[in-house]
Amino acid sequence: MPVEVSIESEALRVSDAELVARALAGDPTGFTTLVERYERALYTLAVRTLRDREEARDATQEAFVKAYRSLHTFRPEAKFSTWIFAIAYHACCDRLKRSRRFSGEEIPERADSAPGPEAQAIALDEASRLRAAIDTLPEKYRSVITLYHLQGKQYDEIASVLGIPLGTVKTHLFRAKEQLRRLIAAPEYQS
């Protein structure tokens, strides 16, 4: 058992750049560790962007496949997290564009939109209310809020991931927070 703990703690100490180098050198554990590090965060971004868990799982997997195939293009001086988040975000955008083209809808509807007793009880929880409010935001605001507050990304990283100017990130974040304040203050969001 102590061997497993030391392997896990060693994996936590290894930098993303070192893991990329290992993967490029043919060591499959390098990329596997990167997937383990970022899978949950990318999935969260995908769920917030796509509003569909199955689509989010597919987009997350697609992002990792694209990253693996393009790993040789990664610049070692860049941050891997910013690079992989950009790939995931663009995979989500591609899925949104495809769904709009085929369905004619702006955003795919959620099948579980009618709250049942359990959903109503959960909705009373502050975190659930916030998640529900975030889900109502336009995609450009959801993405910025998710990256900043849920993923802990800095403004410049968000600008890089989303491919927008730094000032736009700040504006979107400000407007998203304002909309969230109004939504949460609305009577239907009160406990």
**25-40: pLDDT as tens digits:** 999 999 999 999 999 9
Look at 21-25, 26-30, 131-135, 154-158 and tell me which has the smallest mean pLDDT. 131-135
Domain ranges across the chain: 1-108, 116-191
d(CA 51, CA 46): 8
Q: Quick one: which of 123, 48, 128, 134 has its CA closest to 93?
A: 48
By CB neighbour count within 10 A (0-12 exposed, 13-18 middle, 19+ buried), where does 151 fall? buried
When the candidates are 2.30.29.30, 1.10.1740.10, 3.40.50.11540, 3.40.190.10, the CATH number that belongs to 1-108 is 1.10.1740.10
pLDDT of residue 124: 47
CATH code: domain 116-191 is 1.10.10.10
**Residue 153, pLDDT score:** 86
pTM of this prediction exceeds 0.75: no
What DSSP character marks residue 77?
T
Name the more confident of 43 and 133.
43
Binned at pLDDT 50, 70 and 90, residue 119 comes out as very low
